[in-house]
Amino acid sequence: MKRKLIVSIVAFLVASAAAFSQNVIDLIVAEAAPDSTQIDTYGRMSGWIEIYNTSLGTVNLGGCYLTDDRNDLKKSLIPTGYTVAKIGPRQSILFYGSGRGEDGLLYTDFTIERGETIYLVSNDGRTIVDSLVIPSTLPQGMSAQKLPVDNKGIKYYQDDKPADPTPGMRNGSQNAESGSQRMARTDPHGFILTIVAVTVVFSALAILWFLFWLLFERPAKMKANPKPAKVKKAKAGDSNAEVAAAIAMALDLDSNGDVYAAIATALHLYFNDAIHDNESFVVTIKQPSTNTGWNEKTQTFRRMPR
Amino acid sequence: MEQIISSLQQFWQYTGFANCAWANIAMIAIGITFITVAILKEWEPLLLVPIGFGMILGNIPMFPGLNIGIYEDGSVLNILYQGVRQGWYPPLIFLGIGAMTDFSALISQPRLILIGAAAQMGIFGAYLLALLFGFMPNEAGAIGIIGGADGPTAIFLSSKLAPDLMGAIAVSAYSYMALVPVIQRPIMLALTTKKERLMKMPAPRAVTQKEKIIFPVIGFITTAFIVPSGLPLLGMLFFGNLLKESGVTRRLAETARGPLVDVITILIGITVGASTQADKFLTGKSILIFGLGLLSFVIATTCGVCFVKFINLLIRDPKKKINPLIGNAGVSAVPDAARVSEVAGREFDPSNHLLMHAMGPNVAGVIGSAVAAGILLSFLG
């Protein structure tokens, strides 16, 4: 049972990896038109499907499937091994819905009809990468298409309104406003951008200042100038001055009092972290490393002849 | 015989002499000047020698269509130039800068970080002026970044915002970086009194290795969350510094700050220089860019020094006051700007060493200019 589960998980992972190995996830069914607005290579008029690559890398569509049937995801195979099936960054490819896939690479085995959904299925034959609904009320000569959410053109949504067909062209406004154009319109003198930018630069560095002060400078100062320890009521386990004095007095009974008082005071200071061992700007001698480096790779090298 | 003459005439058409224009000669002369200044005066020789030679390389007149020019697709120079056009040389330079920069001065005195922010005013001052001169906002942003005194950042931003102006912007940025001592010193002296110049600052505290390791991680997360568009520059800068300070990646750090940064410096210098082809470079716009670049340096230095004087007004303890001569170091020309502070300080008091204090705002300027570039990219890109 366990083995079956592991095999299933591995199979699923492999299938998922195969599905997304070529970033087919970046492809979308961008547009579809059921009516004949394009003339194919045979001079026929037929409906078409536009697949668009939203990524900045080339994606190979070979091995993927197109279908109009949710229950038959392998209806129309896009053959592998053809360069034409590779879609460049932010480019699209058109498939003709002739219903005869044998006509060529760019022909589907189904026709495109109103009221159905076009699915793009990955090369595992199971994973639906994207889909586009063709409304049953789509007017003659119009297409169903997806539009970019913003100027970046990475995310798309299906537009409810019928659109004029734009096969092979980027959907949406061809004159998307750039950031510079927007700033020229909204902030022609640049004062708003300057104020915002200066504020952000100062804020970013002020936050860094605060963090470094909090993390580094403050603890260092506290270490350099420790606050005098408050005299507390002695508790079990406390190592305050009274305890130290008590230790010294106890030890005094046996031996020289001065020595033990010094030891006790030192212990007290040590336990209260009041000793400043790491003096600033004092040259110290580094402890020699116990590592002799006898097995380092450099030991096996021959010296260069001089 | 006729065929030989015809062949020679045809060959003549291919030579530089037949295709030469006065603009090519002018650019070659500028290239030779760069090399001369770099060798004789030792002003930024690591940059000016490759850029100067690149200028000569890019302005050899040639018959078009041989597929050897930097702007011709697929040529060797064009392939090397992609690192500039696509903006992947600058982050690699930043990796090297991170691996060679010691941020101890900044960690020990975090308050000096704000000087690095104040000096970025040069960027935005030049941005406003460029808009006034009729540049589009994206072009103005690319020109403004010259004020950050950071060559890689200037190339990175101009490749994204205004690729057509990149040659002029890069050459302007590197030229003024080489001229930092000449530009900054008179401004610093004009804005400070003798009493201020003699001000002594307490020695910075020693910084532990733990602090140095935590710094790039905290610094990167903080700045990258605020300005994600500056990720390539900030990420590489702090990553390089982590390689240096971690103590366990010595080989990687040495490669980043040694061979890698050297290779990229050669490639960036020669290709930026070669991109200044006369027909694209010798324009009215380029002259304006040079003028605005100079003004941006002046504004940056002025704002840095004045900001320190302002901060001093708020500090009551005279021992904690900051010498305004380190205000100029807020620009990210590391370590040239800090060296100017040191030289100026010792000029008036030979025992007054300001170098370590000035390195704080200087390295803060590197972070500040990368943050500023990120902001401009997010608004104007």
ipTM, interface predicted TM-score of the complex: 0.86
Query: What pLDDT band is residue A89 in, cutting at 50, 70 and 90?
Result: confident
For residue B379, give how far its alpha carbon lies from the nearest alpha carbon of chain A (Å). Answer: 6
Please report the pLDDT score of residue A10 as a whole number.
55
- Which of B143, B205, B331, B369 best tests the A interface by mutation, with the highest count of A CBs <10 A? B205
CA-derived radius of gyration, chain A: 38
């004029």: which residue's tokens?
Answer: A164
Confirm or reject contact between A13 and chain B (CB < 8 A).
Answer: no
**Averaged pLDDT, A216-229:** 75
Look at A121-125, A145-149, B63-67, B244-248 and tell me which has the smallest mean pLDDT: B63-67
Please report the pLDDT score of residue A4 as a whole number.
62
Q: Could A194 and B127 be called an inter-chain contact, meaning their C-beta atoms sit closer than 8 Å?
A: yes
**Residue B277 φ/ψ, nearest 5 degrees:** -65, 140
**Averaged pLDDT, A90-111:** 84
Q: Could B117 and A201 be called an inter-chain contact, meaning their C-beta atoms sit closer than 8 Å?
A: yes
Confirm or reject contact between B111 and chain A (CB < 8 A).
Answer: yes
Q: Could B114 and A206 be called an inter-chain contact, meaning their C-beta atoms sit closer than 8 Å?
A: yes
Residue in chain B closest to A183 (alpha carbons) equals: B137
Q: Could B127 and A193 be called an inter-chain contact, meaning their C-beta atoms sit closer than 8 Å?
A: yes
Please report the pLDDT score of residue A207 as a whole number.
92
d(CA A232, CA A238) in angstroms, rounded, equals: 9
Q: Which residues of chain B have pLDDT under 70?
A: 64
d(CA B260, CA B266) in angstroms, rounded, equals: 10
3-state secondary structure of A46: strand
Nearest to A217 among B110, B364, B368 (CB): B110
**Averaged pLDDT, A79-98:** 81
d(CA B155, CA B169) in angstroms, rounded, equals: 7
pLDDT per residue as tens digits for the range A154-213: 778 888 888 888 887 777 765 566 788 888 888 999 999 999 999 999 999 999 889 888
Beta bridge partners of A94: A50
Q: What is the DSSP letter of B324?
A: G
Q: What are the structure tokens assigned to B367, written together?
A: 């972070």
Q: Could B121 and A198 be called an inter-chain contact, meaning their C-beta atoms sit closer than 8 Å?
A: yes
Nearest to B379 among A179, A201, A211 (CB): A179
Nearest to B381 among A179, A203, A205 (CB): A179
What percent of chain A clears pLDDT 70, i.e. is strictly above it?
63
Beta bridge partners of A27: A53
Chain B residues with CB inside 8 Å of A217's CB? 108-110, 205
The 3-class secondary structure across B167-198, one letter per residue, is HHHHHHHHHHHHCHHHHHHHHHHHHCCHHHHC
Q: Which of A275, A216, A210, A283 is nearest to B207 (CA)?
A: A216
3-state secondary structure of A289: coil
- Which of B127, B129, B222, B233 best tests the A interface by mutation, with the highest count of A CBs <10 A? B222
Confirm or reject contact between A178 and chain B (CB < 8 A).
Answer: yes
Helix B137-144 to helix B284-314 angle, to the nearest 10 degrees?
60
pLDDT per residue as tens digits for the range A285-303: 555 555 666 666 666 666 6
Chain B residues with CB inside 8 Å of A205's CB? 113-114, 116-117, 364, 367-368, 371
Alpha-carbon dihedral of residues B206, B208, B213, B217, nearest 10 degrees?
-60
d(CA B297, CA A163) in angstroms, rounded, equals: 53
Nearest to A201 among B132, B207, B371 (CB): B371
Q: Could B137 and A194 be called an inter-chain contact, meaning their C-beta atoms sit closer than 8 Å?
A: no
CA angle (B153, B159, B161) in 5-degree steps: 95
Q: Could A197 and B375 be called an inter-chain contact, meaning their C-beta atoms sit closer than 8 Å?
A: yes
Query: What pLDDT band is residue A230 in, cutting at 50, 70 and 90?
Result: low
For residue B16, give how far its alpha carbon lies from the nearest alpha carbon of chain A (Å). Answer: 39
Chain B residues with CB inside 8 Å of A191's CB? 128
Give the DSSP letter string of B51-112: HHHHHHHHTS---TTSS-STTSTT-HHHHHHHHHHTT-HHHHHHHHHHHH--THHHHH-GGG
Whether the per-residue pLDDT at A16 is higher than 60: the answer is no
Whether the per-residue pLDDT at A280 is higher than 60: the answer is no
For residue A186, give how far its alpha carbon lies from the nearest alpha carbon of chain B (Å). Answer: 11
Q: Could A201 and B211 be called an inter-chain contact, meaning their C-beta atoms sit closer than 8 Å?
A: no
Higher pLDDT, A135 or A19: A135
d(CA A209, CA A190) in angstroms, rounded, equals: 28
Confirm or reject contact between A8 and chain B (CB < 8 A).
Answer: no
**CB within 8 Å of chain B, chain A residues 54-113:** none
Chain A residues with CB inside 8 Å of B131's CB? 188-190
Query: What pLDDT band is residue A21 in, cutting at 50, 70 and 90?
Result: very low
Confirm or reject contact between A14 and chain B (CB < 8 A).
Answer: no
Residue A205 and residue A71 in contact, taking contact as beta carbons nearer than 8 Å: no
Residue in chain A closest to B210 (alpha carbons) equals: A216
Higher pLDDT, A259 or B126: B126
- Which of A216, A217, A280 best tests the B interface by mutation, with the highest count of B CBs <10 A? A216
Please report the pLDDT score of residue A234 as a whole number.
46
d(CA B90, CA B233) in angstroms, rounded, equals: 7
Residue type, B340: V
* Positive or negative: CA dihedral A51, A57, A61, A63: negative
**Averaged pLDDT, A122-149:** 86
Please report the pLDDT score of residue A267 as a whole number.
72
Query: What pLDDT band is residue A17 in, cutting at 50, 70 and 90?
Result: very low
Confirm or reject contact between A152 and chain B (CB < 8 A).
Answer: no
Please report the pLDDT score of residue B70 as a whole number.
85
Please report the pLDDT score of residue B289 as a whole number.
94
Q: What are the structure tokens assigned to B47, written together?
A: 């940059």
CA-derived radius of gyration, chain B: 22
Residue B58 and residue B273 in contact, taking contact as beta carbons nearer than 8 Å: yes
